[in-house]
Structure 1
Amino acid sequence: MVDRGECTFVHKVRNAQKAGAAGVLIADNICLCDFASVCKPKNEGDRCEQFEPVMADDGSGSDITIPAFLLFKQDADVIREELLNYNANIVMAEMTWNIPRPDDRVEYKFWTTPTEHISKNFQKSFGDAALRLGDSAVFTPHFFVYDGILNRCHGSNGNACSTMCTNAGRYCAADPDNDLYKGISGSDVVRESLRRICIWKYYGKDKFGEKWWSYTTEFMERCDSPSYFSNNECVNDAYKHSGVDGKKINQCMGDSGGLQGDSVNNLLQKEIAAKDELGVVVVPSVFVNNIAMRGMFFLLS
């Protein structure tokens, strides 16, 4: 059991793992405002928190193999009091996990971007497996898009983050080659993300999206390079070989709000809302029945 403190959850749990811990209980040191009547602040006058902090992976937690839980301050204080009472019995904590399964189907959500490399082999190979799962699984792809307003890229003077954003700075993506003036830009990534969202909208009604997987594979084989990533001819070629109706997809991209001017794009706005609701901070991320999956991305033969 450790105090929440100032360092990240990942850093704290990693230190505990290195010290030999089999699991970690993190004792919150700040009261939640909802529990103000039963939670005593550490110091008189300390402010409470409106929201419980999210124990999210900061992107460096792939080496952590032990479980960790965050305890509300009022619960942690009771355990702490027992631990400090030398005449008390040993305090035992049981960690249990319920398998989340609301119905007879497995629902899994996959968060990615068109330029992240970690899951590319997974995306190329998993399409056939997704089809074979049939009605026993429901797949939904999502695309990580930064909120340009929250990140101060949107303003009265237009896009303040150069080529990283669309819609006058409303929707942004990291520049994959770290060069704002050549190669693939963040705005190119946002455009391709919207394209794949639209492909799923039209062809994902069967819940496994055969043509979505096919287009993703064709694009990676044909257009996944700085020279062709935003090339319309290459995109049309990927449409053709995957059986996707490019006219419908292009219309969807425009009807959702487009990518030009200071306008709201409804589909991209939904992705940002879904990202924030689940607490997605890194890609790739997979949620199975709304529980984050931890581990490597590969397909067993």
Structure 2
Amino acid sequence: MKENLGIFVLVWFLLYGTCLGRFVVEKNSLKVTSPESLKGVYECAIGNFGVPQYGGTMVGIAVYPETNQDGCKSFDDDVSFKSKPGGFPIFVLLDRGDCYFTLKAWNAQNAGAAAILVEDDRVETLITMDIPEDEVKQADYLQNISIPATLIRKHFGDQIKNALSSGELVKINLDWRESLPHPDERVEYELWTSSNDECGPKCDSQINFVKDFKGAAQILEKKGYTQFTPHYITWYCPKTFVSSKQCESQCINHGRYCAPDPEQDFSIGYNGKDVVIQNLQQACLFKVAKESGKPWLWWDYVTDFAIRCPMKEKKYTNECANEVIKSLGVDVEQIDKCIGDTDANVDNLVLKAEQEAQIGNGSRGDVTILPTLVINNQQYRGKLAKGAVLKAICSGFKETTEPTICLSEDIETNECLENNGGCWQDRVANITACRDTFRGRVCECPIVEGVKFVGNGYTHCEASGPLRCELNNGGCWKETQDGRTYSACIDDHSKRCECPPGFKGDGVNTCEDIDECKEKLACQCPGCKCKNTWGSYGCSCGGNLFYMREHDTCIGKSVKTQVSWGFIWVVILGLAAAGVGGYALYKYRIRSYMDSEIRAIMAQYMPLDNQGEVPNHLPHGDI
């Protein structure tokens, strides 16, 4: 009885807190395009299972089955909702009630439906179709529901039924393009989760999602495309019950932060307190990793912890957690400091911030469902699966700014596989302008090996830029014969295709060899013989003559040799004569100069034969 009281206390608070808070029903648009009487746009609520086509649309026709109208039983083999070739997908309209929403979706999917519309059975505001907790442990099909599910109002559902009963075609466009905001080039998203792994298929699917999505999440985070934050839901224990055995086993810090018992049995296994402490440890690891510039380590830790420290193997311990932390190179002491004293009667700053974050703000309602994904401050609806979540995150980027990972095989539309999506393509070079995206195909001239193609993408694309001749020869003519290759591609920014010298043509499809001999364009000198070659020509001279192409003339080979050597000998003899003459002049001028200098010096000390005696002259007044 006391154990049940403890569970009741936590459940009571959860319900009480939810009533005080604000739960937002996430919606998408439903547009009826025919019949005329129903034309218009209607609101509908996105189911919290299946795969909503975030960022995209689906067009189909409504069908209301003649039997099994609530979809609670498997449809007979003779009932098929599969669309025929060339036909529209079928959206099955089902009545609410008698079984869970998920079972209706599963039965309709197995019968070939592309989507289900559930008509409410009462007049009320729209609600979120969720996975009921008491079905989770029994239903193993939940994670295999792959069609979108939506709830519509009763009045609108009745109008569709009336139109169908009158034989009218009800054509519907389900539109999720504005279900999530997409204001800029970065997506901010949160995952509200828990380290508890003993809640059956729901916990298993959550762990599997983290493992599968880890690679994509880390790529997005490392390259700055996204900003991710993990969160953990906790409740507090009312003061009246803080000292009870139930609250003490499920809460820390004197009832401030609590989590339900994993097995909902206080006598076995781990308790809620263990879950709260591990949740706090994961939150602190993210905080420390983010401060060190590596927030993506959270994905590694949560994945490794689930593998190495599961509850089922009795390894869900602090010691095991520390081993995982050390293996990732994160400082355990910093994390312990962040965790603090879980027995102290004080607030824990990390968990206090988590409780405050649970309260909705702006367009985002309170977080009360585990797990919950929030993208650009809007709650995601649908199953947690890599492809579905990646599609939703990609829809949060401003159009045309999506990273490459948004074009991965997991979420591409594959419209380019049929008729190349109606886009331009070069079959020879295997180049196409068709590109699949999660929003549908686009016809956009590609960039291939660094070469940018320009054009409208539908009927025309051509290579542009200085490297264009490296790819498919820039779309110009090119041919090889006799070991020689000629190209009409001009490797510049002109985008021209021009036949090379020796050829004529458009440069794109053809370049024909010019016969220079036939057209009298070469070898016109007397005695010249012309021979045409591919892309060029050759000339020869008769007898012992040599052809000079630049002058288009023939000259004698021997004369050319004699004249050349004669010229060389003249140059040699001329240089020799100049050297001898220069030497003689040099000797004459030096000798004359030296003789005159010597005579001048000797004249100062002795009379020469041709000079008379010079009398002595004394100064006046000397005795």
Amino acid at match of 1:97: W
Secondary structure of the structure 2 residue equivalent to 1:95: strand
Do the aligned residues in 2 keep the contact of 1:138 with 1:207 (CA within 8 Å)?
A: no
CA, structure 1 residues 229+2, in 2 after alignment: closer, same or farther (shift >3 Å)? closer
Identify which of 297, 302, 313 aligns with 1:216. 302
CA, structure 1 residues 191+288, in 2 after alignment: closer, same or farther (shift >3 Å)? same
* 1:41 counterpart residue number: none
* 2:317 counterpart residue number: 230
Deviates more, 1:187-196 or 1:118-127: 118-127
* 2:240 counterpart residue number: 156
In the TM superposition, residue 75 of structure 1 has moved relative to its aligned partner by 3.1
In the TM superposition, residue 109 of structure 1 has moved relative to its aligned partner by 3.1
Do the aligned residues in 2 keep the contact of 1:197 with 1:267 (CA within 8 Å)?
A: no
CA, structure 1 residues 55+208, in 2 after alignment: closer, same or farther (shift >3 Å)? farther
* 2:96 counterpart residue number: 4
Secondary structure of the structure 2 residue equivalent to 1:194: helix
Deviates more, 1:178-187 or 1:202-211: 202-211
Do the aligned residues in 1 keep the contact of 2:209 with 2:385 (CA within 8 Å)?
A: no
Do the aligned residues in 1 keep the contact of 2:212 with 2:386 (CA within 8 Å)?
A: no
* 1:113 counterpart residue number: 194
Amino acid at match of 1:196: Q
CA, structure 1 residues 27+128, in 2 after alignment: closer, same or farther (shift >3 Å)? closer
Residue 28 (str. 1) matches residue 129 (str. 2) = no
CA, structure 1 residues 136+297, in 2 after alignment: closer, same or farther (shift >3 Å)? closer
* 1:55 counterpart residue number: 129
Residue 93 (str. 1) matches residue 172 (str. 2) = yes
Residue 82 (str. 1) matches residue 163 (str. 2) = yes
Amino acid at match of 1:136: Y
In the TM superposition, residue 186 of structure 1 has moved relative to its aligned partner by 1.8
Cα distance in 2 for partners of 1:253, 1:271 equals 18
Aligned residues: 271
Identify which of 82, 106, 118 aligns with 1:14. 106
Cα distance in 2 for partners of 1:25, 1:186 equals 39
In the TM superposition, residue 135 of structure 1 has moved relative to its aligned partner by 0.7
Identify which of 175, 178, 186 aligns with 2:272. 186
CA, structure 1 residues 208+183, in 2 after alignment: closer, same or farther (shift >3 Å)? same
Residue 173 (str. 1) matches residue 259 (str. 2) = yes
Residue 244 (str. 1) matches residue 330 (str. 2) = yes
In the TM superposition, residue 193 of structure 1 has moved relative to its aligned partner by 0.5
In the TM superposition, residue 268 of structure 1 has moved relative to its aligned partner by 3.8
Cα distance in 1 for partners of 2:196, 2:161 equals 47
Amino acid at match of 1:75: F
* 1:141 counterpart residue number: 230
More strand by share: 2
Do the aligned residues in 2 keep the contact of 1:219 with 1:238 (CA within 8 Å)?
A: yes
Q: Percent identity, aligned pairs only?
A: 32
Secondary structure of the structure 2 residue equivalent to 1:141: strand
CA, structure 1 residues 98+28, in 2 after alignment: closer, same or farther (shift >3 Å)? same
Do the aligned residues in 2 keep the contact of 1:107 with 1:137 (CA within 8 Å)?
A: yes
Secondary structure of the structure 2 residue equivalent to 1:229: coil
Cα distance in 1 for partners of 2:102, 2:214 equals 32
CA, structure 1 residues 23+186, in 2 after alignment: closer, same or farther (shift >3 Å)? same
In the TM superposition, residue 201 of structure 1 has moved relative to its aligned partner by 3.0
Do the aligned residues in 2 keep the contact of 1:139 with 1:208 (CA within 8 Å)?
A: no
Q: Compare CA radii of gyration and give the structure with the larger one.
A: 2
* 2:616 counterpart residue number: none
Amino acid at match of 1:57: I
Residue 64 (str. 1) matches residue 128 (str. 2) = no
Do the aligned residues in 1 keep the contact of 2:304 with 2:324 (CA within 8 Å)?
A: yes
CA, structure 1 residues 208+263, in 2 after alignment: closer, same or farther (shift >3 Å)? closer
Secondary structure of the structure 1 residue equivalent to 2:335: helix
* 2:218 counterpart residue number: 131
Do the aligned residues in 2 keep the contact of 1:139 with 1:207 (CA within 8 Å)?
A: no
Cα distance in 1 for partners of 2:304, 2:169 equals 60
Q: Which has the higher contact order (CA 8 A, sep 6+)?
A: 1
* Structure 1 residue runs without a partner (length 5+): 33-48
Cα distance in 1 for partners of 2:184, 2:218 equals 20
Secondary structure of the structure 2 residue equivalent to 1:161: helix
TM alignment of 1:33-48, pairs within 5 A: none
Cα distance in 1 for partners of 2:290, 2:347 equals 26
In the TM superposition, residue 204 of structure 1 has moved relative to its aligned partner by 3.0
Secondary structure of the structure 2 residue equivalent to 1:156: helix
Cα distance in 1 for partners of 2:369, 2:339 equals 25
Do the aligned residues in 2 keep the contact of 1:140 with 1:207 (CA within 8 Å)?
A: no
1:90-131 superposed Cα distances (whole Å, 9 cap, x missing partner): 332222331743322344433432233445466467555543
Do the aligned residues in 1 keep the contact of 2:234 with 2:276 (CA within 8 Å)?
A: no
In the TM superposition, residue 190 of structure 1 has moved relative to its aligned partner by 1.0
Cα distance in 1 for partners of 2:251, 2:99 equals 31
Do the aligned residues in 2 keep the contact of 1:164 with 1:180 (CA within 8 Å)?
A: no
Cα distance in 2 for partners of 1:210, 1:97 equals 29
Secondary structure of the structure 2 residue equivalent to 1:93: strand
* 1:36 counterpart residue number: none
Do the aligned residues in 1 keep the contact of 2:358 with 2:367 (CA within 8 Å)?
A: no
In the TM superposition, residue 192 of structure 1 has moved relative to its aligned partner by 0.9
Cα distance in 2 for partners of 1:56, 1:208 equals 35
Secondary structure of the structure 2 residue equivalent to 1:65: coil
Cα distance in 2 for partners of 1:21, 1:124 equals 30
TM alignment of 1:197-212, pairs within 5 A: 197-204=283-290, 209-212=295-298
1:205-253 superposed Cα distances (whole Å, 9 cap, x missing partner): 689613434543564566545655333x544444444343444434433
Cα distance in 2 for partners of 1:181, 1:80 equals 53
* Structure 2 residue runs without a partner (length 5+): 1-92, 198-203, 391-408, 411-623
In the TM superposition, residue 194 of structure 1 has moved relative to its aligned partner by 1.6
In the TM superposition, residue 27 of structure 1 has moved relative to its aligned partner by 1.9
Do the aligned residues in 1 keep the contact of 2:214 with 2:299 (CA within 8 Å)?
A: yes
Secondary structure of the structure 2 residue equivalent to 1:29: coil
1:20-56 superposed Cα distances (whole Å, 9 cap, x missing partner): 5432222223334xxxxxxxxxxxxxxxx5xx31122
1:255-280 superposed Cα distances (whole Å, 9 cap, x missing partner): 9xx56559684134135436x93666
Cα distance in 1 for partners of 2:373, 2:107 equals 26
